[in-house]
Amino acid sequence: MIGLTNYAGVMESLMNSAEEKQPSSPLTNSWAKKQESSKSQKPNGVGGFVLVHAGAGYHSESKAKEYKHVCKRACQRAVDQLKAGALAVEAVAAALVELEDSPFTNAGMGSNLNLSGEIECDASIMDGKSLHFGAVGALSGIKNPVMVANRLLSEAQKGKLSAGRIPPCFLVGRGAHDWAVSHGIPPCPSDKMATKFSLSAYKRNKRKMELAEKMDTGHNQTKKRRQSSENENGSGCLDTVGAVVVDLEGNVAAAVSSGGLAMKHPGRVGQAAHYGCGCWAENACNMNSYSTAVSTSGCGEHLIRTMLARECSAAMQSEDAHQALLEAMQNKFISSPFLASEDRVLGGVIVLRCCRCVEAQPSQNFQGILVEFLWSHTTESMCVGYMSAQDSKAKTHISRLPPGTVPGQSLAIEGGVCRLMGVVE
């Protein structure tokens, strides 16, 4: 069942010099793919675009202001980096740091506590230009896990280690912590990372578990309790954060960070750290017409078993981005044979795709990037924010499933179009 399909109409276009009618395809009207001869030319000026999410799950009206505010700050942080000349991968990392530092998100500071009352975080980042990837899983004692993932990525780009050893791209647990500290990333005591929100949630969940263990352990009762727990704790389980960025040179990057499921088993690693599951970024090349970047959120096990980030990225090479994402979410996620045994398939994605274009003017050649950005989710809600470097402030939105639809069985999809322009000298 498709709950809502709303694209490009509901969201205001971010184009600085917007046309009244948006092009139906990035390659129509006066737009054309950039010719090979202009690849060495760079537009005069700085710019870029960022789309962030504060998780797919449930966002109460009482906390809507806080979720929107942190998304605005994350967008501004990324845009500040882009204006300073940073590439997409550095800008996306900056956005994630801001999201991790918020006590309202389940990432970095204030993450969910596991069964042992400890915080273990997952994070990953991917650079569409180099296609390098860095990730950490079940990481404790580091305030910003995405910084460790980003450092793994950058260290791998330097080449082999001594004696020809291959540098790691994915580290977990104590080994990830020690590697981070040895590379200059300061440790942070786990008790300092817990907040009053995460501690109160842990105590509440622990009481529920203790009560459940005293009750009848029959199959029907167990199933009933499990479903009740999912409904009550959905917002705490499914609020992974993430971002996707494109810079004015056309490079894309994506990142994701999560504290994982509430009351998870120690050592559990979710989709936020898995290759092709938490995030994906890939610049356009001979085989791909579009650059694409994806970041996911939701039930980690569902996202891992479907490799949703990479699936959505591949789908974005179709002509109609909206229809492609709709079909990917329906066929590769909700109706995936890998999740046939699941009653509800819970997740969400943010996606951008772009292509470099040129438009001839009487006096100058304007070279730019046409960006299509979308988000889709099967959860009750998803909070997003977006901003271009030409904007004075970010826009935010809490997307919700239509009334009467069933989370995990229906989906919402929205988005818009942005044109980034520069003058080719």
Catalytic residues: 240
The secondary structure of residue 318, as a DSSP letter, is S
Burial 218-244 (b: 16+ CB within 10 A, else e): eeeeeeebeeebbeebbbbbbbbbbbb
Residue 89's closest CA among 290, 277, 270, 291? 291
- Cα(229)–Cα(67) distance, integer angstroms: 23
Tell me whether strands 347-360 and 291-298 are parallel, antiparallel or unpaired. antiparallel
Alpha helices, DSSP H, located in 145-276? 145-156, 173-182, 190-193, 196-214, 219-232, 234-237
Distance of CA 332 to the CA centre of its chain: 18
- Cα(386)–Cα(104) distance, integer angstroms: 19
- Cα(182)–Cα(167) distance, integer angstroms: 14
- Cα(118)–Cα(138) distance, integer angstroms: 10
How many of the other CB atoms lie within 10 Å of CB of 275?
Answer: 16
How many of the other CB atoms lie within 10 Å of CB of 101?
Answer: 18
Q: Judge whether 128 and 291 are in contact, CB under 8 Å.
A: yes
- Cα(300)–Cα(120) distance, integer angstroms: 14
- Cα(155)–Cα(13) distance, integer angstroms: 38
